[in-house]
Amino acid sequence: MTARPEHLPERLARISDMQAAEFISAGLLAGREDVASIALNKVAEPLEGDDERGRLHPVRDLIEQALQEFQETRPTAADAWLAPRLHATLRLSRREAADAGLWSYLALGVAPDYVVWRHQPEPKADEAPRGVARKRFLGPHHTQAFARLWWAAELFRDGADYGPAARACGNQDMLNTTLRLDVIDHRPTAQALVRLMDHKIVQTGREVNALVAAVNASAATLMYDLIAPDVEYDPDPLRGWIAAAETSRAVSRHVLPEGPEEEPAPDESVERLAALFEGLFADVSVRGRVSEERG
């Protein structure tokens, strides 16, 4: 199995798509080879400055904790634990998080062993073993191993509360489907989707996929930001939270961290959309769902 990188520098870095591709071998995807970490760090570009957010080892320590915590469980269970903690450890702005080179470096230079462990497909009796998809190392934000977790935590957190993000990441269909959609940028929409999960209106993967498809299709005619307005964005809490990284402690293994002290999404807006989405869901067809009228 792919091992922890033998060389871990002091600071995080970024690596271009072209450079990253050179280190993604068939052996790595199959979990048989390690990343040539010394060679990789020779071409990687260390993050500028000397602030705490750029330190590599707190991120690696977090990965070690995740591997230890979930070694005996299904790897998918790690997403709900790791997403909010990765977000709170890195303390990035959205502009910074849009840098794909950072995520490629995390996957190849910091934790390729985690990527292989988390994303290697489960073997099937009638198939040859399959390797990790290349997009988990080098791919868009909704499929790349660490970018998907950061963006899920960012889009589903409710101000400082990571609880909704952890619950969303606990459902692979909610995590995998919604990150592809522009509609999830609207905070009350994201919170309304989680609320329907919390109320057990949607539970199975098929139900989540049907709900999200209906919500996305309805957005073509209904302007959710007008039906359920969000509060005006204030950048100061995020700036203060990022600045506080210089003195913050490592995130807890047992208690969810706290995000920026932003105002939560208005509850009235969330409730309005939750009621709307519940109605949309009632009208969609879900394979395997039995209607109340049919018993």
Q: How confident is the model at residue 292 (pLDDT cuts 50, 70, 90)?
A: very low
Is it the case that residue 42 has pLDDT exceeding 50? yes
Share of the chain residues as helix, strand and coil, in percent rounded to the nearest 5: 55, 5, 45
Backbone angles phi, psi at 57, to 5 degrees: -65, -35
SS3 147: helix
CA-wise closest residue to 95 among 248, 242, 245: 242
Closest CA to 273 of 148, 145, 184, 163: 184
- The pLDDT assigned to 289 comes to 62
The average confidence (pLDDT) of the chain is 94
* 14 pLDDT more than 90: yes
Return the structure tokens found at 280: 């949309």
Helix pair angle (57-70, 112-119), 10° resolution: 30
Residue 152 CA to residue 154 CA, distance in Å, equals 5
Determine contact, residues 242/207, Cβ cutoff 8 Å: no
152 pLDDT band (50/70/90 cuts)? very high
What integer is the mean pLDDT of 247-271?
Answer: 97
Helix ranges (H only) for 7-119 are 17-21, 26-29, 37-43, 57-70, 78-90, 94-97, 100-105, 112-119
Question: Which pLDDT score is estimated for 294?
Answer: 37
pLDDT-derived band at 18, boundaries 50, 70, 90: very high
Task: Delimit the domains of the chain by residue range.
Answer: 13-180+231-264
Mean pLDDT within 131-136: 97
Distance CA 226, CA 230 (A): 9
Question: Average pLDDT of 235-262?
Answer: 96
For residue 293, is pLDDT > 50? no
Instruction: List, as one string, the DSSP characters of 201-250.
Output: SS-SHHHHHHHHHHHHHHTTTS-HHHHSPPPPP-SHHHHHHHHGGGTPPP
Report percent pLDDT > 70 for the chain. Answer: 97
Q: What is the pLDDT of residues 87-129, one digit of tens each?
A: 999 999 999 999 999 999 999 999 999 999 999 998 776 777 7
Residue 97 in tokens: 């998080």
Nearest to 49 by CA among 246, 210, 194, 274: 246
Backbone angles phi, psi at 98, to 5 degrees: -75, -5
Distance CA 180, CA 255 (A): 29
Task: Identify the pLDDT of residue 122.
Answer: 83
Give the pLDDT confidence score for residue 295 in this predicted structure: 37
pLDDT, average across residues 219-229: 95
**Chain segment 63-89, per-residue pLDDT in tens:** 999 999 999 999 999 999 999 999 999
Q: What is the pLDDT of residue 288?
A: 57
64 to 57, 82, 117, 216, 287: CA distances (angstroms): 10, 11, 12, 37, 40
Query: 126 near 184, Cβ under 8 Å?
Result: no
163-183 pLDDT tens trace: 999 999 999 999 999 999 999
Higher-pLDDT residue of 287, 61: 61
